[in-house]
Structure formats: C-alpha cells, structure tokens
Structure 1
Amino acid sequence: MTQAKDANIPLDRDIFLRTLVRELATSLESIVGLAEASGYISVVGQTVGAHIGDMYTSALAVDRLSRQQVADVLVDLKQRIHGDFYIIEQDDQKIVLGTRSCPFAEKVIGRESMCMMTSNVFGTIAAHNLGYAQVELVETIARGAAGCRVVVHLVPGADAGRGSGREYFGDAPPGLGAFAAGSVVE
C-alpha cells in the first residue's frame, strides 16, 4: 500500500466528531472540573435542544407539542442520532426513558459531562412545550451502567421520592422575570 486513502483506518465524520466532543469534555473536566464542564456543555445542549425542538414543532405544524408528542420526539431524535432510546413508562407527571446505547458510543464512558447534552436537550424540549421539566439521570453509560435510565419529571415537586436533577423552565417562574425563561436550575 502506497497511498493513504487505501489505509485501513477506522475514521469517518461520525468517529471524528464523537472523538472531538469527548476530547473537549476531557479537557474541560481536567481544567475546570466535572461540575463546571457539565455547565459549559449544558449551555450548548440548551441551544441544541431549542433548535431541535423548533424543527419538530415546525415539521409537525404545531405551536407546542403535547406530552405524548414530547415523549415521541425525545425517542425519535435519539434514534436519529443512533441512541437506542425507548419509553419505559409515562404519565402526566413524568416520562421515563431507557437506552441500550449512547449516540456518543464508547466515547461517553468516563465522561459524565457529556450526559448534559441529553439532559439539556430533553429538558429544553419538555419545558418549552410543557412549561417545566426536571431531568434526572438515574443511570448512565458514562458512569459505567449497561444502559441509561432518564426520568423527565413534568410537574415541580410532584414526586416526593425523586432524586436530584436539573430543572428547566419554559416560562419564567413568578418573581424571576424573563431572565429565567428557558433557564436551568440545579
């Protein structure tokens, strides 16, 4: 073999971009720590979530998605980017999702900050359409689980047994003004 184009190298755009995101997360985590790295990635996730949410509402020709449509959108968007997400259960108070694979594949292992993409995309879409979301990353591939379990709570404080998670607001909570619209609170 004399030409680089004939070399058997496992590299394509997908692998390159997943590696790029992992190395950005690695650099952030090592320089500013996990919490701050998660915060930086959250900002990107919120913007991406708003953009994806707008694409779905436009494509479905609606101003706001219903709870069922939000659940369907969360699964569909992850399926489109090779995350094997599925609904475990859902009701008026929560949507529980699982997955057997991450869109970042093996690149997510050991990089918990990358999970903020899922949290923020899910939280932003749910809150924008339903008014509120708290995303709880119960189990993640990044932390070594075989799959992920993500709970999107739709009602503030409705589930007394829930763990911590990031809160997302579609409309500004009373007293906080427009600044809080679409904001994240932990």
Structure 2
Amino acid sequence: MIQTSLLDDEIKSLELPIERDQFLRTIIRELAGTLQDVVGIEEAAGFLNVVGYRTGQHVNQIYHNGLQLSNLSREQVTAVLVDWKRRIQGDFYVIEESDEKIVLGNRRCPFAEQVEGREAMCVMTSNIFGAIAADNLGYARVELKDTIARGAKECTVIIHLKPSEEVEEFAGQEYFKI
C-alpha cells in the first residue's frame, strides 16, 4: 500500500500539459479530423453544422437572458459575437459594421493550435455566428474568408445581413430566423 501511495504522489507531482480545456479541444480536433478523413470535409462540415447551429441557439439564449432582451440590435449582435469569442479565449475584433454586413477579424482561435488543418472546425464559428445573427436580425450569410485552420495568420469572417445577388457570388452558409 505504501508503494502505491509513493507512486501516486510521484505521478501527481509531474508537470504535464494535461488539463480539461486542452483535453476538450483535442477531442473536438480528433473528432473533426476523423470525420474529415472518413466522410470528407464537406460531410464533416455538415455534421458540425448541426452541432454549431444548436450551440448558437444556446449561446443566443444565454445573452438574451443576461441582457433581459427578447431580440438584439445589429450593434448588440456584433458586441455579443466579439464577447462570446473573448470568453472562450478567441481574439475577435470589429473590422467593419453596417446594415449590410459585419466583418470581424480574429488574431487567436479558441481551439488554438488544435484548429490547424481542421477546416471543418470553422463551421462551428460560422453556425454560431449565423444562428445568433439570423435569430436577431432575420437573415445572415456567413463567409469564412480567411481562417487560421487554412493557414492564414488571422481569420476574417463576413456576416452578410441582407440577401442579395452580389452576396450569392461569395461562399458561405445562409441562415434564416426560425
């Protein structure tokens, strides 16, 4: 019994890069990677679309409750998107904001290095942003122009707020108020 206690103490004293946040990011990375490898990036993104959209609805409700509002203005939506990413250790900032679009930059992904090479993980951001923007403003098309996952130094995310023929030319996912 003494031997086991000494071994336990020795193992507990090790300084290892193991903690909950890193563990959860690793699980999501491996899940996204496995999906990408098994079913392809488009299908993997489809699975993660569902998870991201449901998460977006949940995050939206948290902010509605916190602000005691049933609907958010465009300015509030922008502030919520930046704040939410900050709270999960992203570094998003506003590049441009108008009635037509919200353009956000990002210097640090919440998934950190785990996102590299896992483009499907970016659909989480797209869906959460799209769900929040569409639920409050009626419509959103989220374009992931640049992403750290694809090797860019920073992300650029464009949230188009009005459908238009011009917007049809851009890649992106559309979202509508339910």
Deviation at 1:38, TM superposition (A): 0.4
Are the equivalent residues in 2 in contact too, given 1:78–1:103 (CA < 8 A)?
A: yes
CA 1:159/1:91 → structure 2, altered by over 3 Å: closer, same or farther?
farther
Higher relative contact order (CA 8 A, sep 6+): 2
Gaps of 5+ in 1: 171-180, 182-186
Which residue does 2:72 correspond to in 1?
A: 65
2:48 counterpart residue number: 41
2:131 counterpart (124, 132, 135): 124
Unpaired segments of 5 or more residues in structure 2? 1-5
Query: Secondary structure in 2 aligned to 1:142?
Result: helix
2:20 maps to 13
1:84 is aligned to 2:95: no
Runs (4+) of structure 1 exceeding 4 A deviation are 158-162
Q: Is the 8 A contact 1:93 1:158 kept in 2?
A: no
> Alpha-carbon deviation of 1:129?
0.4
Instruction: Tell me the CA shift for residue 58 of structure 1.
Output: 1.0
- Note if contact 1:135-1:153 (Cα within 8 Å) is conserved in structure 2: yes
Q: Secondary structure at the match of 2:123?
A: helix
> Which secondary structure state, in structure 1, belongs to the residue aligned with residue 96 of structure 2?
strand
Identity of aligned residues (%): 54
CA contact (8 A) 1:99 1:147 kept: yes
Matched, 1:95 2:102: yes
More helix by share: 2
State TM-score, norm by structure 1. Answer: 0.89
In the alignment, which residue of structure 2 is the partner of 1:106?
A: 113
TM-score (norm 2): 0.93
Deviations 1:80-102 (A, max 9, x none): 00000000010000000000010
Count of residues in Structure 1 that have an aligned counterpart in Structure 2 = 171
Compute the RMSD of aligned alpha carbons.
1.4
